[in-house]
Amino acid sequence: MARRLSSLLLFALALLIASVADAAVVEHTFNVGNLSISQLCQPDMIITAVNGQLPGPTIQASEGDTVVVHLVNESPYRMTIHWHGIFQRGTPWADGPTMVTQCPVRQGGNYTYRFNVTGQEGTLWWHAHISFLRATVYGALVILPRAGAGAYPFPKPDKEEILMFGEWWNANVYDLHETAFLTGQPAGPANAYTINGKPGDLYNCSAPNQTHKIEVRQNETTLLRIINAALNTPLFFKVKDHTFTVVAADACYTTPYKTDVVVIAPGQTVDALVVADAAVGRYYMAVSPYDSAIPGNPAFSMTTGTAVLEYVGAGNATVPPVLPPQPDYNDTATAYKFLSNLTALVLPGRPTVPLDVDTRMFVTVGLGVSDCQPEQTMCNRSEGPVFSSSMNNASFVLPRATSMLEAHYGGASAGVYTRDFPDRPPIVFDYTSAASDNDTMQYTEKSTKVKTLKYNATVEMVLQNTALIAKESHPMHLHGFNFFVLAQGFGNYNETAAVSQFNLVNPQERNTVAVPTGGWAVIRFVADNPGMWYMHCHFDAHLDLGLGMVFEVQNGTTADTSVPPPPRDLPLC
């Protein structure tokens, strides 16, 4: 027996050494600058883009690789890049959110992001994390298994395609952000939805080169790596006469889930297999908005973005494809069915749900109001408070002079942030009833509050939507971690009833959860990554209004479980 164990250990060690030996450095240079582009028959306009591309370049690595990206800021704006879903273990300075982990890279400056992708596989993405600039500064980040596509825990596809959904404005998005902040009024909706940067041919005056196309052969299987890079809009995605088998979400494998519609909130990714089993022809791939707000006052463009799935041998390309029937824009039942029915594919060596909880939090998320801030020079103070948003009635404001991670590392938090983010809301009320809509409950104060966690603590958080101003599904993203979604539902959270629904066996694992409209979700994670980690709504309009907070995770007992010194080229404020 001892000899057998010794052999097994030697074999495992050999595999580990081989894996380390095979690890590579994947290196890119991102030149962020101006790109002249024309969409929707508008005159050429200047947008901010990476390497003159929309979307920007795809980063492809294998599990265990080190990724190095040299950011060269040639744009007229300050810039940061966030590597959405990457854990950044040992590299918290590379996470990217402005004034949380770094000061932004100034115009004409540069910064090198360096991180590893150990223990992660699947589809993630990268985007600007400052202003509304992620509307055009974004791209895919694909992590393959170390052994290649043959190691997928599902049948190897014949081909893979990336589909990045976005929003397009016939305006300068930086100016939109500035105006929204100065006036205290949200920016207007996008003019179009895009697939891989192109709106498709259902918009007025769309040109043939503004429709993305995927070519397939009959009966071949394609793995679609689907990413919602839109600023503010959850989306329904369908392909005429085709169905999907979902195999991963947020770079976490799922139990295969068959569906004719994919529902994806901003920040989320979905990997889905599609078989070209229809008649040879041309088929629309379509995205349309899911507007979850109640009462219904659509703040989204009620339009449809398209791409084309074209079979080899389809013949006459002048014959228009047929559009798939899309769900109604307010079809919460369809959205909830998809988002709540995913479960994890249980695999050896993958994380399991922690059963013992150290820290329990009940956190309300939603819209409210606050007074105009001194910097909001175009705010109409005579008309009273303006839109705000908050978590547990704390409306988050980024520091201006020092990043939070620098303050944390240097033990100089005074004047930068406070450690009093509440574990519960200050007022208990009927969170999902419009009858609770009163001035006292709507009003929120601006602050920069964090929740401090001991290293390796297990955190359970109930995210409870409120009906103040409107009920709405908020996509809540946590930097630095994945979390398990134990349960979700509608109405006010009832602990007794909900605990009996907890999935502690194979809950979906994600980095962004779409909290149901007028409902709740329960997440659980282990705080085993020291640093400052942003948690926020991935609607940029809501983030700008304050729907966020930060977890401060304390150091462990070793150098490997502590925040390392900052890199020498860390940007200065």
**pLDDT above 70 for 203:** yes
pLDDT in tens, 73-112: 999 999 999 999 999 999 999 999 999 999 999 999 999 9
Q: What confidence category does residue 18 fall into, taking pLDDT thresholds of 50, 70 and 90?
A: very low
Residue-level pLDDT at 3: 36
Distance of CA 427 to the CA centre of its chain: 30
**pLDDT above 60 for 15:** no
More confident position, 61 or 434: 61
Q: What confidence category does residue 7 fall into, taking pLDDT thresholds of 50, 70 and 90?
A: very low
Q: What confidence category does residue 207 fall into, taking pLDDT thresholds of 50, 70 and 90?
A: low
**pLDDT above 50 for 34:** yes
Residue-level pLDDT at 510: 98
More confident position, 67 or 318: 67
Mean pLDDT over 266-294 rounds to 94
Residue 34 CA to residue 56 CA, distance in Å, equals: 13
DSSP letter string, 46-90 = EEEEETTBSS-PPEEEETT-EEEEEEEE-SSS-B-EEEET---TT
Q: How many residues does the chain have?
A: 573
Residue-level pLDDT at 441: 67
Mean pLDDT over 14-26 rounds to 61
Residue-level pLDDT at 435: 60
**pLDDT above 50 for 4:** no
Residue-level pLDDT at 19: 46
Q: What confidence category does residue 453 fall into, taking pLDDT thresholds of 50, 70 and 90?
A: very high
Residue 187 CA to residue 174 CA, distance in Å, equals: 11
Q: Strands, DSSP E only, in 434-510? A: 445-447, 450-453, 457-465, 474-478, 483-490, 509-510
pLDDT in tens, 47-76: 999 999 999 999 999 999 999 999 999 999
Mean pLDDT over 178-187 rounds to 89
pTM to 2 decimal places: 0.94
Q: What confidence category does residue 8 fall into, taking pLDDT thresholds of 50, 70 and 90?
A: very low
Specify burial of residue 456 (Cβ count, 10 A radius: 0-12, 13-18, 19+): middle
Query: On the CB side of 192, how many CA atoms lie within 13 Å of its CA?
Result: 25
Residue-level pLDDT at 351: 87
Q: What confidence category does residue 16 fall into, taking pLDDT thresholds of 50, 70 and 90?
A: very low
Residue-level pLDDT at 6: 37
pLDDT in tens, 184-197: 888 889 999 999 99
27: left (phi over 0), alpha (psi -120 to 50) or beta: beta
Average pLDDT in the chain: 92
Residue-level pLDDT at 12: 39
Residue 127 CA to residue 26 CA, distance in Å, equals: 18
Sequence-separated (6 or more) residues with CB below 8 Å from residue 357: 458, 459, 460, 524
More confident position, 375 or 70: 70
**pLDDT above 50 for 447:** yes
